[in-house]
Amino acid sequence: MMEANQNKAIAQLKGVGDGLRVVIDPSQSAELLQQELKKIFQPLNHLSINARVVIDTGEGLVDENLVKTLGAYLKENFKVGSVSGIPPRPSARKARMRQRELDTCWNTNQSEVLMMAGRVRSGQKITAKRHLVLMGDVNPGGEIIAGGDIVVLGSLRGIAACGQPENFNAIIFALDFRPSQIQIGPLVAAGPPGAPKQKAEFAHVENNAIVVDDYLEAGPFSKLPWPEKR
Amino acid sequence: MNGKTIVITSGKGGVGKSTATANIGAALAMEGNRVAVIDMDIGLRNLDVLLGLENRIVYTIVDAAKGRCKIKQAAIKDKKIDNLFLIPASQSDNKDVLTTEEITNLCEKLRKEFDFILLDCPAGIEKGFQNSVAAADEAVVICTPEVSSVRDADRVIGLLYARSITPKLVVNRIVPEMVERGDMLSHEDVVDILSIDLIGLVPMDEQVVISTNTGVPLVTQKDSKAGEALRRIAYRLNGQPDLPIEVPTVKKSFWKTKINFRFGGKK
Ligand SMILES: Nc1ncnc2c1ncn2[C@@H]1O[C@H](COP(=O)(O)OP(=O)(O)O)[C@@H](O)[C@H]1O
Ligand SMILES: [Mg+2]
């Protein structure tokens, strides 16, 4: 009883929507909880008969057995119709975790990115251990190489090799995508021939082949449920 | 006197370095500057032919740089243009005979005698190129509207930037008809890739070939399109950097829109 008087009640009747919802503190013993439930259900009298009861265990891990035990108790003593636990809602908890992750990702999740600005001219080469961001252009005959992804905020007209030596998940993105050759991991593709176009495209691997798609149309990362580290 | 040393370079051969050197040098001299044009293409000299001075060569740049003669002895005065001097390449020596130090020392001495020292750089990016660039304060990169020439010019531009030289660009041998048909890169295409300041656009002009054979620089003639374009490049190098750049066109009155390409700030 002492515990029940504290801020957080051991068991509480929360809403009677199309049934009875009882919020319990699953960390308490079944006996204690039964006592509390008795206090709640006795005053209800016949209202409890055949009622649909939902036992809400909050966001903690739901102990199936606890819900079963309490359900059996309620059915036997108060003739309730059905008793179920609230389907687990990990999302709320996970969302908070993920948000916390985002808030602190600078501390815990730094990506290794080489960020460069300028023009990579013929005969010049930039190599990045992981990701490479180039604010600038790669001229024909210029070369950029990365262990991870390559992002070119400008014209890519030279050679770009990402995911070196064998990361098939890496991508190559350019605002103006017209490389002479691209490599993703060990796969090689000749640059798209034809008229120069000014289009934001990206190359990625699909079924073991390099595919080039319109970046905004394909939105390769827009389907990710949550921002994640590359 | 504290002259300016300008290297005329391209990476690729046959794009018009020697033509540009002879004509820009002549135009600068006609403006009243003391000018030395130097053929750095040891073993393959031809600047002397362009200036019609091949029969006057006694000493060469190798002699001058190695102290085997005085600079005055190696510098051949032009037949017609006062103040224009040629220091010829040696034809017999190996192209690597000169050290970078010998060239830079020679250019230091020339600086005291001349307003402009133009170095006609050999093709390639080897020793001859390295020597020419080491001695230069400024650079003019010559490029034709061809993919391979643009590629080589780009390489050279990267090497010049690495030595803290900001080069200027000449696009030579433009055929406006072909550009109009889409069969030739336009100068915009070239500038788009090379992205350095343009200092001149020179049309393809058969007069160039004629003047090469007669040994009289084109800039001395009034009615040549290429000569006019080269003359204007000289003016831009000689204190008129903002003289508008004229685009060769198909029309009889052969200049179209006046443009002024400039990347980054003024130097
Ligand atoms: N604007 C031009 N129009 C026509 N022919 C040209 C032009 N510029 C250069 N040429 C020709 O191209 C060839 C190569 O020129 P040159 O100046 O010797 O090049 P480089 O010194 O770069 O090797 C020469 O035959 C020259 O007459
Ligand atoms: Mg030459």
**How does pLDDT run across A173-188, given as a tens digit for each residue?**
999 999 999 999 999 9
Amino acid identity of A85? G
Examine the pLDDT at B263 and tell me if it is beyond 60: no
A78 and A149 both lie in a single domain: no
Amino acid identity of B59? Y
Which residues, 6 or more positions from A28, have their beta carbon under 8 angstroms from its beta carbon?
Answer: A3, A10
Q: What is the pLDDT of residue A98?
A: 77
CATH at A176: 2.160.20.70
Print the domain residue range for A58: 11-85
Reported pTM:
0.76
> For residue A25, is it within any domain?
yes
CATH at B65: 3.40.50.300
> For residue A223, is it within any domain?
no
What does the block give as tokens for A161? Answer: 């090799």
**How does pLDDT run across A201-221, given as a tens digit for each residue?**
999 999 999 999 999 999 999
A133 and A211 both lie in a single domain: yes
Q: Indicate yes or no: CB of A123 within 8 angstroms of CB of B154.
A: yes
A81 and A16 both lie in a single domain: yes
A203 and A123 both lie in a single domain: yes
State which ligand 1 atom lies nearest to the alpha carbon of B202.
Answer: 1
Instruction: Please tell me the distance between residue A20's alpha carbon and the centre of ligand 2 in angstroms.
Output: 96
State which ligand 1 atom lies nearest to the alpha carbon of B206.
Answer: 4
pLDDT confidence of B228, banded at 50, 70, 90?
very high
Strand order in the sheet with A11-13: A11-13, A20-24, A52-56, A82-85
> For residue A212, is it within any domain?
yes
Q: How many domains does chain B divide into?
A: 1
B126 reaches A (C-beta below 8 A): no
Q: Indicate yes or no: CB of A140 within 8 angstroms of CB of B147.
A: yes
> For residue A66, is it within any domain?
yes
What does the block give as tokens for A138? Answer: 């790669």
In a mutational test of the A interface, the residue from B151, B166, B194 whose CB has the highest number of chain A CBs within 10 Å is B151
A116 and A208 both lie in a single domain: yes
Ranges under pLDDT 50 in chain A: 1-7
Question: How far apart (Å, rounded) are the C-alpha atoms in residues B91 and B172?
Answer: 27
Question: How far apart (Å, rounded) are the C-alpha atoms in residues B185 and B171?
Answer: 10
Q: What is the pLDDT of residue B158?
A: 96
Question: How far apart (Å, rounded) are the C-alpha atoms in residues A223 and B204?
Answer: 55
> For residue A15, is it within any domain?
yes
Give buried/exposed letters for A134-170 (b at 16+ CB in 10 A, else e): bebbbbbbbbbbbbbbbbbbbbbbbbbbbbbeebeeb
- Would you put residue B195 in left (φ > 0), alpha (ψ -120 to 50) or beta? left
Which residues, 6 or more positions from A222, have their beta carbon under 8 angstroms from its beta carbon?
Answer: none
A162 and A212 both lie in a single domain: yes
Print the domain residue range for B46: 4-263
- The position carrying tokens 């200049």 is B255
A158 and A61 both lie in a single domain: no
Q: What is the pLDDT of residue A3?
A: 43
Of B158, B161, B195, the CB nearest to A122: B158
pLDDT confidence of B61, banded at 50, 70, 90?
very high
Q: How many domains does chain A divide into?
A: 2
ipTM associated with this complex: 0.80
Nearest Cα residue to B107 out of B63, B61, B73, B47: B61
> For residue A229, is it within any domain?
no
**How does pLDDT run across B11-27, given as a tens digit for each residue?**
999 999 999 999 999 99
A81 and A116 both lie in a single domain: no
